Amino acid sequence: MMTKCGCNMPDFEPSKEKIEPPANQEFPPRILLAKIGLDGHDRGVKVLARSFRDAGIEVIYTGLWQTVKSTIFAAMQEDVDVVGVSLLSAAHMTVMPEMIRIRDELGIPQIPVVLGGIVPETDYPKLHEIGVSAVFNPGSPMEKIIEKMRELSGDHRTATLDEVRSGYGQGDEHALAKLITAVQRGDSLDGFTPPKGNAKILGITGAPGVGKSSFIAKLGDKLCNRGHKVAVVAIDPSSPVTGGALLGDRLRMMAGEPRENFFVRSLSSGKVQGGLGPHCEEVVNILNGFGFDFILVETVGAGQSDVAVRELSDEIMLLLMPGAGDAVQFSKAGIMEIASCFVLNKCDLAGADATETQLINSVGKDRPIFRATTIRDEGVEEIADWVTKLK
């Protein structure tokens, strides 16, 4: 039975039929999925994202209401193998030429762009002519889509090491993204080591759902507004079954237009335990040598013993939320011990005062305790003050 891709159909139900990754797949393909324009829902593209993950693919999902420019800049920073665009608005003949134009102007023409949506077949030749690599309508078999994604990923030309090293030294973000990919894949850098750098490295950790990504978006914005260059390493868990991953942290950090001096790279945890991912320290060193002032390392949703971020960070920020525990919970060994400061996030929720009192009773006042509500943009400015003084 063929699984159908209803990428624009609200009543679509994914098949339970499993699509296995190829046995010889050394590194998962990286695909960025974007919803361009004002589409009202993303149910279908989320089904695609989960299906890709289950097929052993790393998926960077950027969320609803993205612009063409923000999508292409995200693809460049993430060094993806394919960009997948979902459109419901019948604006494909306007959006896709603009996407191809910006892609080429940014110097990444080798990244294929694929379109999913309700597209008249009479428009297919025009779309292919302007550079769209594939078009899928609702009802396209999922197996066919995944097969095409893998084919296009294999065709993705990688730059030479000399090109990457030269661009990195000249401050080219595309070269930076390529160098991170090379390190992530364990490629030889032929003796190259990045400059030492002078960044302050801040580990940001906490349990799943505590709001780390949204908080980082606000904090990064405050730091950029003060003239600082900020990089984010956002780590999400890999599937222990297929090796795929749904890398969704970036969608909390993307605004309507790319933010100058704000670089985000999504990584999967692979088989690494403790909240980080493979070669994370080397990635941080590459970012440091590029000249960032602050590097924010977001761990996977962390448990009590996930303390690996301590080894590569200058300071650790632990995010909590109302109802996260009591004085006994806060007194336990592990992640509570490594924190340089605590952020009680989502303080618009009930129980914030009680949780703060329990936290103070447990850890005292020697380490800063901040309150924040990112949805209201409250408390983050004070935290940015504390971070800035670390320099």
Q: In the 3-class helix/strand/coil scheme, how is the chain assigned residue by residue?
A: CCCEECCCCCCCCCCCCCCCCCCCCCCCCEEEEEEECCCCCCHHHHHHHHHHHHCCCEEEECCCCECHHHHHHHHHHHCCCEEEEEECCCCHHHHHHHHHHHHHHCCCCCCCEEEEECCCHHHHHHHHHHCCCEEECCCEEHHHHHHHHHHHHHHCCCCCHHHHHHHHHCCCHHHHHHHHHHHHCCCCCCCCCCCCCCCEEEEEEECCCCCHHHHHHHHHHHHHHCCCCEEEEEEECECCCCCCEEECHHHHCCCCCCCCCEEEEEEECCCCCCCCCCCHHHHHHHHHHHCCCEEEEECCCCCCCCCHHHHCCCEEEEEECCCCCCHHHHCCCCHHHHCCEEEECCCCCCCHHHHHHHHHHHHCCCCCEEECEHHHCECHHHHHHHHHHCC
Please give the Cα distance from 215 to 378 (Å, whole number). Answer: 11
With beta carbons less than 8 A apart as the criterion, state whether 199 and 292 touch.
yes
**Per-residue confidence (pLDDT) for residue 11, from 0 to 100:** 32
Looking at the chain, the whole-number percentage of residues with pLDDT higher than 90 is: 72
Task: Tell me the CATH class for 17-155.
Answer: alpha beta
Average pLDDT on 189-204 reads 94
Give the model's confidence band at 14: pLDDT under 50 very low, under 70 low, under 90 confident, else very high.
very low
Highest mean pLDDT among 96-105, 136-145, 332-341: 96-105
Task: Please check the confidence at residue 239 and state whether its pLDDT lies above 70.
Answer: yes
Tokens (6 digits) for 375: 């949805």
pTM for the predicted model, two decimal places: 0.91
Give the model's confidence band at 314: pLDDT under 50 very low, under 70 low, under 90 confident, else very high.
very high
> What does the CA dihedral 229, 290, 316, 352 come to, rounded to 10 degrees?
30
Average pLDDT on 124-144 reads 94
Task: Please check the confidence at residue 38 and state whether its pLDDT lies above 90.
Answer: no
Assigned superfamily of 200-389: P-loop containing nucleotide triphosphate hydrolases (3.40.50.300)
Give the model's confidence band at 87: pLDDT under 50 very low, under 70 low, under 90 confident, else very high.
confident
Sequence spans of domains, the chain: 17-155, 162-191, 200-389
Task: Please check the confidence at residue 6 and state whether its pLDDT lies above 50.
Answer: no
**Per-residue confidence (pLDDT) for residue 252, from 0 to 100:** 86
Average pLDDT on 217-245 reads 96
Beta carbons within 8 Å of 182's beta carbon, 6+ residues apart: 161, 164, 189
Looking at the chain, the whole-number percentage of residues with pLDDT higher than 70 is: 91
With beta carbons less than 8 A apart as the criterion, state whether 102 and 121 touch.
no
Q: 36-40, 81-85, 265-269, 356-360: which has the minimum mean pLDDT?
A: 36-40
User: pLDDT tens digit string along 92-110?
Assistant: 999 999 999 999 999 999 9
**Per-residue confidence (pLDDT) for residue 257, from 0 to 100:** 81
Please give the Cα distance from 67 to 85 (Å, whole number). Answer: 11
**Per-residue confidence (pLDDT) for residue 4, from 0 to 100:** 38
**Per-residue confidence (pLDDT) for residue 12, from 0 to 100:** 35
| Higher pLDDT among residues 111 and 304, named by residue | 111
Residue owning tokens 């060094």: 79
Vertex 275: Cα angle to 272 and 278 (nearest 5): 35
Strands 294-298 and 230-236: parallel
